[in-house]
Each structure stands twice: as structure tokens, then as C-alpha cells.
Amino acid sequence: MSHFIPHGFRFASVCSGIKHEAGRADLALIVSDVPATAAGVYTKNLVCAAPVTFDRERTPGRGFRAVVVNSGNANACTGKRGMEDAVAMARFAACAIGAADDAALVMSTGVIGHFLPMDKIEAGIYAAAQILASDEEALTNAAKGIMTTDTRHKLFSKSVTLDDGREVRIVGMAKGAGMIAPNMATFLGVVATDAVLEPEEAQSLLRTIADKTFNCITVEGHTSTNDTLILLANGAAGGASAASNPDFCAALESVCEDLARSIPEDGEGASHLVTIRVLGLKEESHARTIAKLIAESPLVKCAFAGNDPNWGRIVSAAGYSGVEFDVSKVSLRVNQFLLFQNGAPVDFDPETVAKSMRENKEIDVELRFGEGTASARFWTCDLTKEYVSINADYHT
């Protein structure tokens, strides 16, 4: 699959020896040939990694040329040395491409509590800078270089023609498969566009889109230390700001939604991507609360793993949410099969519903209330034995 690569961006990845597995790419470099606007959205975990602190202090802003990402080591809970290493990592990236010291942002992901092997990081950055390219292979390699427990790279793009005839391109890459929860998750993402955006415009747009996409996914409800989403806009397409153009905003949201969905779809050990739709409540916050509780319920997720249309677990999860509602007005559908209506189960064939779950990668859950017009949507995955095995064996 080919992607729309924004003008003025180049990509690379190398195996620098950070990961235990020999031969796996573990350092990626994303470079803009001209200074770019950058915006960022970060974890709300008070225990945050040095790269998060570093980037948060610098975004939104102008003049950025690079994002350097290492996988295999989170540089989290590493104190003063961890911050010094994040600063050095950014400086190496800037120097390697001939940019000012303050022109790079950093991301790290992997094992918590270990110092970065800075000799390997420095060598890897300079090696990556030598092979930067703007083609499909380089883009794909960069997306692979940020993976940890992901089973596949996550890469999506869009092209949109604005009213004045300009073509604007957007491409996004992400990693994430476990420790995934709203606000944000063990998730790293870089979205690059050749559109023109001012820093505050980019920040507002990114925050709004993140709330509708990346803050609506969960694997097990664990908010991590390193979660970072960076938007780079280098303006290479020319013209005026695209921030108020509805087609551009829709395309940017579409790329982020595709990336967000791909994370629980690739959830550690997952066999199903599950969409939870909650409708008919008085406030959106009520709908989000219920959707999140259902999406993170171990009992519900185990039922999905077993292809069990266990409506009782879903309805009862809504019941302990703290949101007031009239049970007699509640209905539930799974894969469009009506299981529960007006406060009582309906007559349905469990095996037919189970078969629809078993034969499809995706499961759709619709829980409808009779309280109002507000709604919310969450994406999650099932909870399998493989998830336990992956996290029991993960090196700490």
C-alpha cells in the first residue's frame, strides 16, 4: 500500500542495539527539510518520562526540524540523568541534520527504569541521518522502528485538495498495543503534514482531535509514562493556514481515527477489535463514562474473547457507572442483534450471535438509553490468555 507523503519530509530507521532482539529496528528519525510548526498532546500520568517533560515544555512552537524516537527503553523514572539524556538525544538529532540545537523533539518507549545507552543512541541517530529518504520504504521503516510489542506497524495517510486547488498531504505513524487507556495511553504518534498551521492553531486542532480519537481507546485501562502525540506542519504546500478548512480538518481527524483504531485492533493478544457505542444520554460525559467502563471491564472483555453475547455483563457495567438512567428505557445490540430491550432480555439465539462474533474480527456493541441525545464511542479489544502471557513475560 502506497501512502501520501507530505512534501519536505524524510524518514529513516536503524537498528542501534537498544532492543534485546538482534536485528530489530529501534531508532527512527522524522525530518522536515524546512522549519515546521509543532504541537503536542501528552500523558496525564504524573509519573511521566523525561522525553514527555522535554517536549511538553517546547510545544506548541515553530522552527522544528526533527523528531527522534527510540524503542526498547522508555527513559522513564530515570531522574536527572534521564532528562540530560533526552536533551542530548535532541541535540544529536539536530546536529546530525545540520539544524539548531533546539530544533528537535524526542520520544522514547520500552522498559521503564533503565538509563538510555547513549553511545548507541548517538551512533544510531547519525547513522539514520545518512539514509534519510522521502520514499515509501523509508516511511514504512520509520513506522517499524518505533514498535515494541506491536505485531505490525501502524501507518495511514490522506490527501485533500483545498478550495484554492492546493493539494495538502497528511501522514501519521503510531505504536501501541498494551498499557493503553485514555489521557493518553502507551502510545507514540507522529503526524506530519505539508499544510500551513500556526502553533496555537495546531495545538487546538490536535487537542480536539485527540479527545475524539486517541482518548477514546483502551486495552486494559493503564495510562503510561511516555504517551506522546506530535503534529508537525511544515507549510511546504504553501498558501494560507489550513486550520479552518473543513476538508483538511476532516482528513486530519480521519488519519488520527485510523491510527487510534489500529491500536486496540493490535492489542496485546487480542482476537477482536470492539467498538462500544453509547447513545441517548443527557451529557456526553455520561456517555463517555459508561462507554469507558464497558470497554475496560475484564468480565466484558473475557466474554468477547469467548465469543459470548453476555448482555448481563455489559448492562451491569453501565449500572455501576454512577450515571443515573431509567433501566426500562435501555436497549442493547451486539453485531446488530437485539439482546436486551426496555429493561429485560429478549428472545434471541445465543449461538447465532456467538457465530457472528466468532467469524468477524470486529464486534460492534450499541447500548442505547432514553435520557437525551448525547453519545460517545470507544474502541477496545478482548482480553485473552495471550495478553496475560505477554505481560507476564515482559522484561522489567
Contact call for residues 24 and 70 (beta carbons, < 8 A): no
**DSSP code of residue 5:** P
156 closest CA partner among 67, 253, 233, 242: 253
Using DSSP's 3-state secondary structure scheme, residue 233 falls into strand
Residue 320: CB atoms within 10 A of its CB come to 10
189 closest CA partner among 107, 267, 265, 111: 107
Alpha carbon 94 to chain centroid, angstroms: 25
Contact call for residues 264 and 217 (beta carbons, < 8 A): yes
Is residue 161 flagged as an active site residue? no
Contact call for residues 91 and 132 (beta carbons, < 8 A): no
The residue count of the chain comes to 396
Q: How far apart are CA 215 and CA 273, in angstroms?
A: 16
Residue type, 128: A
Q: How far apart are CA 292 and CA 221, in angstroms?
A: 9
β-strand pairing of 61-73 with 344-345:
unpaired
Q: How far apart are CA 34 and CA 8, in angstroms?
A: 7
Q: Which of 59, 186, 193, 228 is catalytic?
A: 186
Main-chain phi, psi angles of 374, to 5 degrees = -80, 150
Main-chain phi, psi angles of 120, to 5 degrees = -70, -40
Q: Any idea which residues carry the catalytic annotation?
A: 186
